[in-house]
Amino acid sequence: MSTPSPKTAGWLDWHPNPSEPAFRLPPGTVDAHCHVFGPQATFPFAPERKYTPCDAGKDRLFALRDHLGIARNVIVQATCHGADNSAMVDAVRAAGGRARGVATVRPDVTDDELRRLDAAGVRGVRFNFLRRLVTASPKDDLTTIARKVAPLGWHVVLYFESADLPELADFFGALPTALVVDHMGRPDVTEPVDGEQFTGFLRFVDRHDVWVKVSCPERLTVTGPAALDGERNAYTDVVPFARRVVAEFEDRVLWGTDWPHPNLTDHMPDDGLLVDHVPHVATTAARRQKLLVDNPMRLYWPGEAN
């Protein structure tokens, strides 16, 4: 057997024992953004990857799901696995209907392969524009992929930096599928919430009927996880941004843990605190029911009761 590649320098492993959340997630809660990494002995990482993560397999993901009181997962293909969706598909299958997948495919993907992924539980593809994660794909290739998956009723998940949205917005708007944006379009949370950049993002969401993941406060924060007076209110600098998205688009927001939190080097979040962040951004029970249950069910399990 080949020797496993060492982790990227500075890489932090997932939290070994997340706390018990104080907030009880409503029954049927969907974690709409999480990943599996390997284990690399079974599912080797892609040669073209830009980082090497720790192993974070499906058993650990399902243990976290049960610990936090989550009912279902949407497992998003991470760039370290390139377009080899085996680890993600294996995890989705193993979840027995309690997971869906978002894949990465190349423009020459066949209809047979797409049907196989669909039968396994995949419902979308991800287009990633972060230079530190991928070499940019030509837009024509992405359009080809979007046209191939549209007949299956899949959507496109978009991961981009907020500064790149003005250049990308028209391209996104012309794609023939529903769109889902990761991590609120990665706002700079040191800018005002009603400033030009975030307002531009909100208008983009409004104009194109986009779904938004209110996720990753641990990645967007500048002030860090410091909790106030034991209230378990972490990542307070991200709250106004997430709260605004939930208030303006309550029928098109999704929530996710982003476990196992790739590429964090400053701190590793306590996933229990991430759950306790939710009531600060979705401030009524009705909004939380939509964010955590009704919206992701409509997108990933349409027609199924939670």
Where do we find the tokens 């907030």?
23
Name the helix (H) or strand (E) containing 196.
helix 196-208
229-236 long-range contacts (CB < 8 A, ≥24 apart) are 232/21, 232/22, 232/272, 232/273, 232/276, 233/276, 233/277, 233/280, 234/269, 234/273, 234/274, 234/276, 234/277, 235/277, 236/280
Token couple for 166: 């003005």
- Cβ burial of 233 (10 Å; 0-12, 13-18, 19+) is middle
Residues near ligand 0GY (CB under 6 A): 35, 78-80, 133, 159, 182, 219, 258, 262-263
Q: Based on CB atoms, which residue is closest to ligand 0GY, 109 or 264?
A: 264
Token couple for 201: 């993002």
Query: CB of 34: closest distance to ligand 0GY in angstroms?
Result: 8
Query: CB of 112: closest distance to ligand 0GY in angstroms?
Result: 25
Q: Based on CB atoms, which residue is closest to ligand 0GY, 133 or 193?
A: 133
Active-site residue, selected from the candidate residues 31, 258, 270, 294 = 258
Query: CB of 49: closest distance to ligand 0GY in angstroms?
Result: 8
Query: CB of 256: closest distance to ligand 0GY in angstroms?
Result: 8
- Cβ burial of 86 (10 Å; 0-12, 13-18, 19+) is exposed
Q: Is 258 a catalytic residue?
A: yes
Q: Based on CB atoms, which residue is closest to ligand 0GY, 90 or 182?
A: 182
Q: Based on CB atoms, which residue is closest to ligand 0GY, 186 or 287?
A: 186
Query: CB of 130: closest distance to ligand 0GY in angstroms?
Result: 6
Contact 205, 259 (CB under 8 A): no
Q: Based on CB atoms, which residue is closest to ligand 0GY, 122 or 232?
A: 122
Active site residues: 258
